[in-house]
Structure 1
């Protein structure tokens, strides 16, 4: 009897958290969220649910931060491309044996 009861006392082993598909594949239905999708997200209303005003305020805040992060990423990517071009140009001008 003790053996049977001890089976119920043990906590189940938890699997380590992994991203869906181990992070290597993204299907069409799993595209990155846009700021508009976050702002327009609707939730079902339940009897004892969350305050809709607070939820929408939070969604707008998250959407604004996502839009800012994407804008910063685009600016950084453009700057990175510009710097790489300048470096290649400089290297080609100052490489020993290069003609001017």
Structure 2
């Protein structure tokens, strides 16, 4: 993700996808300096990417289920309206 304001003008933020997490690169730390273990960072990013993928699949599944339920409700409502008309 890029740095900048979350709220306000400019382009809207890009939705985070698993590939953004997997492909994220961190600056290397020079010898003798404090920093993060690159393997640990990569393991964590991979875990986050897997969770994002699972959440995105669940959101898609729920969207499809929502559409199915709305369709069924419209059909039921139409059938009830037709039954009541003389």
TM-score category of the 2 structures, normalised to the smaller one: 0.7 to 0.9
> What is the 5 A alignment of 1:1-100?
20-21=6-7, 27=11, 30-46=13-29, 47-95=33-81, 96-97=84-85
RCO higher in structure (CA 8 A, sep ≥6): 2
For structure 1, list consecutive stretches of 5 or more residues without a partner in the other structure. Answer: 1-18
Please report the TM-score for the alignment, with normalisation by the length of structure 2: 0.80
For structure 2, list consecutive stretches of 5 or more residues without a partner in the other structure. Answer: none
Please report the TM-score for the alignment, with normalisation by the length of structure 1: 0.69
| TM-aligned CA deviation for residue 26 of structure 1 | 7.3
Greater Rg by CA: 1
